[in-house]
Every structure is written in structure tokens, then in C-alpha cells.
Chain A
Amino acid sequence: MEIIHPWALVAFSLYILIILGITVYSARIMARTKVGEYVDEFYTAGRGFGGVIIAFMIAAGLCSAGTFIGGPGLIWKLGLAFALVGMAQLFMNLYVLGTFGAKIAIISRRVNARSLVDIFFHRYEKNKAVVIGVVAAIVIFLGFYCSAMVVGGGRVIEVMTGFPYHWGLLLYAAIVVLYTTFGGLRGTAIAILVQGIVMTIATAILVVAGIIYAGGVAAMFNAMLARSPDFLTPVGTAHVSFKWIFSLWVTFGIAIAVLPHAIMGSLVYKSTRAAKRAIIIGAVVVFLWTALLTILSAIAGAVVHPELAIPDYNLPALALVALPPAVAGIVLAGIAAAVQSTVGIMLMVISAALVSNIYQGYFKPSASPDLMKKVTRGATAAVGIIVFALAFTAPPMLEYIVIFCIGGLASAFFAPLFGLFWPRANQYGAIAGIYGGIITYILAKQFVKSITLGMDPIVIAIVVSGILFVGVSLLTPKPSRETLQLFWGKTKA
């Protein structure tokens, strides 16, 4: 597959130019921002985003290499069991904006939150152990998640352009680091909108061409049936259980509501009307991406290429044979966009946690606005560079890393976030819930697999975390009046 397609490169370069244009535009806005307001503008961009941008910020921020590369890879390998799992993510925007995010939208304006960490910080009495646990979970799980995405992106470039993996990676890194570092959340959000549109166009083109190339819908499914009847069943060739499918419906369904990069959307929408619009637009675009691209194109790909070196090559390989080179370049840009949109928003979250919760929170509360501006930019670029450096050693199957990282984050945050709706919850319960959740998840995943009852450990970890959270909260003193006033009260007093 080491053939360079000049036309594919032209289409791809065009996409990169548009993103660079957005970088320049948003960097100019940032340059006009007063130094004293710089950090807030960088991370929250004035909290005035409308429905369309929020819809894409959450949907394209969540759908990335997992949806566009890893999912199709697993469908190629295991069959339609993974199609059924993929459909779980359809209403991601509803889960994010309709559960914790709905209350966070108001609270974030009360405490001027720049990320999910600030919500934990204020709800749990500014407790250090809570903040450190939350930041550590974000840095570790989101960091690995992020670099897994980058690996996916590098592979797509490799397959489709013949560019060596590491060079593709560098090209990739440079773009994302530039627009996050200089454009802040505004640059990231506008880039996501463009990326979302490119993703949608690429999806539509690939699914139509792929199905035609595979000989039509009926021929495609017949070919699959002839090759392996199990491929078409809900448990696939891996013969997974419905219990296990259920646990992944937790992972890709409701657990998504606590992912810190998804919650960014609920910190910055301008009105409840915008949020409602974002929920509906989100459902439609995620339907297009998941049902059409992931599933139908992946099946077409499995028919066209029964043999593949790496399962994750499924869609790029399909695009190369089913489309003329220039058009294949659009698909390449679409997949690259899907990955970059996620990496960009994740970098913002990791950077916000480190800069505002750790650096400003504990090391230098008195940092001058000038210094904060430098630290914000420096930290964002540094996080980006570290994540890309991690991606230089590529793991074989992307989707498993995605599942591990969502599982880890949800095990830590799901139960303690119910403190938004349960006033009696306190910091001790939160500490028990966060650390207990992470430890249970890792133990169950790596060491004592028997306690998971045949499911992904996310289910047992959330249950354990929830019991610890409620039990410890009830056994320890009540939260302070000030905290409850902040999270439930009508007026400031």
C-alpha cells in the first residue's frame, strides 16, 4: 500500500490549509484579548456558543479514531457484534447535556469553571485529595486516550499517502498543537465545526462508493454470509455474551456523560435553547457517522478486503480502492479531522486541569496575568508534544485502549458526580468513590477478572465506586453550608 497518490495529497493539503486559516483567525482574537482576561477567554471563550457548534464540539469531540478507525477495525475482525455496540453512542449529546451537564451549565457560571475539575473542587470543599485524584485520572486516562487517537490518525496517513507513520504523525501534531496553543477553545471549536462538516461529507461519499464497489447491499451481506455466518449475528465471530454487550452499552452510552472533554460543551453553551438544539443535531450527525460510516462501510470493507495486515486499516483501504484518488483524499481528510477534533478538545481539558487546578491552584495562586498567559500557552503546547511523543510507539488495536480509557474515567467520576444531585454527599465519599472506582477498574481489568461476571469491568467498578461514595458520605460529617448554598441555593447569600 506504499503508493503516494498526488491527488489525495492535494485534497488533504486543502483541509490542512483551512485549519491553518482558522488558527490564524482565532489567534488574532486571542491577541486582542486583555491580558487579565486571557486565561478565561482561552479556556471558555466567553461561554457564548450556539447549538451547532456545541453539537459538533461534543459529537466530533467524542467520535474520533474509535468511531472511524477502531470500530470498523473490530467489525472487520469480529463481525456485527461491534456494530451493535457502536449504536450505543447514538445519543451521546443527550447523555452529556441532559444529565450532569445540565446542572454544570449553571454551576460553572457560579464558580467560573474552566473544566470538570473546578466542579469537583467547589463541590467537595476544595479538598486536595479529590482534586489530585481527578486531575491524575484526567491526565493519565485522557492522555493515553489522546495518544491512541493520534496513532489512529498516523496510520490513516500512512496507508493513504504512503508517508511513513512517523512523518504523518509529525504533520498531524504540528497542526493540532498550533491551533490549540494559539486559538484556545475558540480556535478549537471553530476547527471542530469545519472538521465535523468534512467528516460528514467523507462519510457520505465513502459509504455510497463502498457499497457500490462491494456490489450492492444484498451482494455485500450475501458475501459475508458465505464467508462466515457468525459474522452477521449480534454476538459476531467472537461469540460475546449479551452481558458483555450490555457492559459496552454502559461504556459507550451513559458513561460518556462524565467524560471531561465532552463536559466542556456544557460549560460553554449560551442558552438552554442552544443545548436542546445541540442534542438534536448531535443525534442526527452521530447517526450518520455511526450507522452509515462505521457499520455499513466497515462491512463493505470486510467484503472487499478479507485479508488485512492491521484491522484498523479497514476503512482507509476501502477508500483507496473504491474511490478515485482525489476523492479518497477527502475521506483521508475526514478521518484525520475526526481524530484531530478529539485530540484538540482533549488537549484543552488536560491543559486546563494542569494550569488552573494544579499550577494556579496549589503552586502559584498569586501568578500575575502575564505569567498565567505564558503558562497557559506553554502548558498546552507541552501537553500536545508529550501526547504525540507517546504515540511514537503504536499499539496494535486501538479500540481496546478507547474502552479502557472511557472505563477508567467513568469508574472514577460517575458516582461522585451524583454529588451534583445529592446534597448529603461530601468530600470523604468523593475520595472513596474516585480512588475506589479506579482501583476496582484496574484490578478487575488486569488481575482478578472473575469478579466482572463476564462483563467489561466498568459495570462492577461503577457499582463499587457508588457504594463507597454513598456509604462513606453517610458515615462522615455533612458538607458545609457554603457548598450547598453554592450548588443548590437560589441566591448568593
Chain B
Amino acid sequence: MKILEEYGIEEDPRFKNRYREMLIVLGCWAAYMVTMLSVAWLMGQRVPPENYTFILGFPEWILATIIIIPLVFIGIFSFIVMRVFKDESLEPWLNEKQEGGRK
């Protein structure tokens, strides 16, 4: 962000949060993908279909990847979104008042 200093632009703190949240979301995507694809590979691909274990009628890897893991991640991501992401104003510009009346 050197260029902002060069131009003497004071950064809107909301954008710093948005940047941080974007990185978290990219991490969420990667974590969900890695988990799903590894489980599919380990439980579904390394084992020939004739030897699949069935739980409640589902082949094990299918129950895991279309029901259980997604539900677990819905829980984790909901927690992250509600607790970690900031609630902020969407006003186009921040004036002195919204900063907490410093001036």
C-alpha cells in the first residue's frame, strides 16, 4: 500500500477489514475443497467400488462428501461469518462524526 502513502491518501478502515475478510474467504474455499477432494480420493478412489462400505444404504464416501462434510462446513463458516466478519456502515464516505466524534 506504498502508493497510497505516496499520494497521501488515508485509507478507509472498512477496506482493511474487507481485504482481511477476502483472504479468509479464499482460505475457506481452499479448506473446503481440500477436505472434500481428499476424502473422495481416500474413501472412494483408493478402494474399488466392489469393496465399498455402505452406511444407511449410502456408499461411505458419498455420505461423507454430500451430507456430512458440507453440514460441518456450513456450521464452521456460519460461525466465522457471524463472529469474525465486522458489522460496518455502508455509507459511501466516512465523516468525522462516524469516527467517534474525534473532531
Q: Which residues of A contact B (CB under 8 A)?
A: 80, 83-84, 87-88, 90-91, 94-95, 98-100, 102-103, 105-106, 109-110, 216-221, 225, 229-230, 232-235, 242, 245-246, 249, 253-254, 270-273, 276, 279-280, 283-284, 287, 291, 295-296, 421, 423-424, 478, 481, 484-485, 488-492
Contacts and interface: CB of A to CB of B under 8 A. Distances in A.
Nearest to A256: B29
A105 B15 CA distance: 11
A230 B66 CA distance: 18
A280 B29 CA distance: 15
A232 B25 contact: no
A246 B102 CA distance: 50
Contacts of B11: 488-490
B24 to A, nearest CB: 7
Contact of A254 (B26, B37, B70): B26
Interface in B39-91: 40-41, 44-45, 48-50, 52, 54, 56-59, 61-62, 65-67, 70-71, 73-74, 77-78, 81-82, 85-88, 90-91
Given A229-B48, A279-B77, A484-B9, 10 more contacts: A98-B24, A98-B81, A103-B19, A217-B57, A221-B58, A232-B52, A234-B45, A276-B87, A280-B77, A488-B9
B85 to A, nearest CB: 6
A232 B49 contact: yes
Nearest to A86: B66
B10 A490 contact: yes
Nearest to B32: A91
Nearest to B61: A234
Question: B-side binding surface: helix, strand, loop or mixed?
Answer: helix
Interface residues of B, number: 60
Contacts of B41: 234, 242
B82 A276 contact: yes
Interface in B1-22: 1, 3-4, 7, 9-15, 18-19, 21-22
Contacts of B25: 94-95, 98-99
13 contacts: A84-B36, A98-B24, A103-B22, A106-B14, A219-B57, A220-B57, A232-B59, A234-B41, A253-B33, A270-B90, A279-B78, A481-B7, A489-B12
A232 B9 CA distance: 57
Contacts of A245: 37
A220 B57 CA distance: 8
A102 to B, nearest CB: 5
A133 to B, nearest CB: 24
A489 B91 contact: no
A217 B56 contact: yes
B49 A225 contact: yes
A424 B61 CA distance: 45
> What DSSP secondary structure best describes chain A's contact surface?
helix
Given A102-B22, A218-B54, A287 B93 contact: no
B92 interface: yes
Nearest to B63: A217
B58 A99 contact: no
7 residue pairs, one from A and one from B, having the closest CB atoms: A218-B57, A217-B57, A98-B25, A229-B49, A234-B40, A109-B92, A490-B12
Given A232-B52, A488-B11, A271 B90 contact: yes
Nearest to A281: B78
Contact of B66 (A99, A295, A488): A295
Nearest to A299: B62
Contact of A94 (B28, B59, B86, B88): B28
Contacts of A95: 25, 29
